[in-house]
């Protein structure tokens, strides 16, 4: 099945020429290759390349070490400039680093369907959909036991603590650090937090 293949060549002749050869081979196999690069007219691009090379001809006879402060430095500057241009219109991606050392968490209250004790929850939201249909973040819950009803598909990655989830069918699952679990919508059962849990959800 023919595929559309994007090439992102570096700002250097070697990678560009290699990509062109690979693109020709892909086209010969029935695929559709195309190149993503800064919007520069061909004539301007040719002059830019020519000026860049002519400006460094005197460095090509030097050793690799001697080229670090001239040709190599300028090549990397061009690559960084290309990356900045390519990323300037990309939307920012929310993220959370080192959640286990966070000192400021939002208090979200107490689990409303408690059976034993009083499990208080807190955390930090990373993203929530406009209609609340999706959300993800860092979740902390202290010990307790409650009736659990999952109203939306939920993925859970445990970072710390221990909890037991008993499904209404009788199946029991214990979640501990470095474990991941998926709870489908309408999962029902009982959750028991034995040791304060800290999860990515």
Domains, the chain, in order of start with CATH, read 4-87 (no CATH), 99-200 (2.60.120.10)
Please give the mean pLDDT across all residues of the chain: 86
Q: What angle do CA 186, 196, 152 make, to 5 degrees?
A: 15
Q: Please tell me the predicted confidence (pLDDT) of residue 132.
A: 74
Average pLDDT over residues 136-158: 94
pLDDT digits (tens, 9 = 90+) for 20-78: 888 888 999 999 888 776 566 767 777 877 887 888 888 888 888 898 998 888 888 87
Among 200, 196, 188, 198, CA closest to 148: 188
Distance between CA 199 and CA 161 in Å, rounded? 9
- Dihedrals phi, psi of 114, to nearest 5 degrees: -65, 145
pLDDT at 11 over 60: no
Contact 74, 46 (CB under 8 A): no
pLDDT top residue among 50 and 160: 160
Contact 146, 129 (CB under 8 A): no
Count Cβ atoms within 10 A of the Cβ of residue 171 and give its class: 0-12 exposed, 13-18 middle, 19 or more buried: exposed
Q: Please tell me the predicted confidence (pLDDT) of residue 7.
A: 81
Q: Please tell me the predicted confidence (pLDDT) of residue 118.
A: 93
């Amino acid at each position: 099945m023919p595929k559309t293949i994007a090439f992102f060549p570096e700002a250097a002749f070697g990678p560009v020429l290699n990509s062109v050869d690979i693109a020709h081979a892909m086209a010969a196999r029935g695929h559709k290759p195309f190149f993503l690069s800064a919007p520069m007219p061909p004539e301007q691009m040719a002059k830019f390349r020519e000026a860049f090379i002519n400006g460094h001809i005197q460095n090509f006879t030097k050793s690799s070490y001697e080229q670090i402060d001239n040709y190599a430095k300028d090549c990397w500057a061009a690559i960084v400039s290309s990356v900045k241009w390519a990323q300037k219109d990309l939307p920012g991606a929310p993220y959370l680093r080192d959640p286990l050392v966070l000192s400021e968490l939002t208090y979200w209250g107490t689990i409303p369907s408690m059976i034993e004790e009083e499990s208080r929850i807190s955390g930090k939201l990373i993203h929530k959909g406009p209609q609340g249909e999706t959300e993800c973040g860092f979740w902390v819950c202290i010990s307790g036991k409650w009736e659990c009803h999952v109203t939306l598909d939920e993925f859970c990655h445990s970072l710390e603590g221990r909890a037991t989830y008993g499904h209404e069918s009788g199946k029991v699952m214990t979640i501990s650090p470095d474990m991941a679990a998926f709870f489908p919508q309408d999962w029902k059962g009982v959750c028991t937090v034995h040791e304060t849990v800290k999860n990515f959800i």
